[in-house]
Amino acid sequence: MGCSDRNTTPPITVSIPYSYSPSSSSCCPSQLSPPSDPPSPPPVILSPCAACKILRRRCVEKCVLAPYFPPTEPLKFTIAHRVFGASNIIKFLQELPESQRADAVSSMVYEANARIRDPVYGSAGTICHLQKQVSELQAELAKAKAEVMSMQCQQSDLVALICMKMSESQEPISYQLPYENANFFSEELEPLWT
């Protein structure tokens, strides 16, 4: 039997509702009797948030970063941390009301990602590139609309010309049948059966 060079599996995040009662002498949750209509306790997460895991520190209960950098998305914090730094992210989030923090984290991660892709211009480079594309497409659209208008004018001129030529060259239309004046039962004709 040889030694395998496999990496160890990462820790699994498990949510376990835990209730502690000082009067209870039992230590196992399976031996506790279920109370009637208990308020749902917050789940205890055995794994720290992605930020605390990357910073190798203990994730406290009121961690500012935990709601925005869950343990399942470590790359999100890594990108933001590389550009802004953990202390700046924490300071920035503490200055904002909680209702704006999720959008701020999303913006920081986007800006950091853009800054990593384009260190000189960052997201401003992306914005300029997109604005250039929009202006090129608007010019192309204006050109296409002008071509459509030109073709419509040519078509209306052509239809008017055709109608004018037809009205000039047409004789009055008579709807006479070619055999209308013909008398098939003329007396000049001899009967065939006599």
Q: Are strands 15-16 and 44-45 parallel, antiparallel or unpaired?
A: antiparallel
In a domain, 106, yes or no: yes
In a domain, 54, yes or no: yes
Q: Are 37 and 15 in contact (CB under 8 A)?
A: no
In a domain, 164, yes or no: no
Q: Are 84 and 94 in contact (CB under 8 A)?
A: no
| Residue 104: domain span | 50-117
Q: Domain count of the chain? A: 1
In a domain, 32, yes or no: no
pLDDT single digits (tens) 147-165: 999 999 999 999 999 988 8
Q: Which residue has the tokens 């800006």?
A: 111
Give the separation between CA 171 and CA 162, rounded to whole angstroms: 16
In which element (H, E) is residue 115 found? Answer: helix 98-117
pLDDT single digits (tens) 39-82: 554 444 557 888 898 889 898 888 889 888 988 889 999 999 99
In a domain, 76, yes or no: yes
Kindly report the pTM of this predicted structure.
0.50
Give the separation between CA 10 and CA 47, rounded to whole angstroms: 10
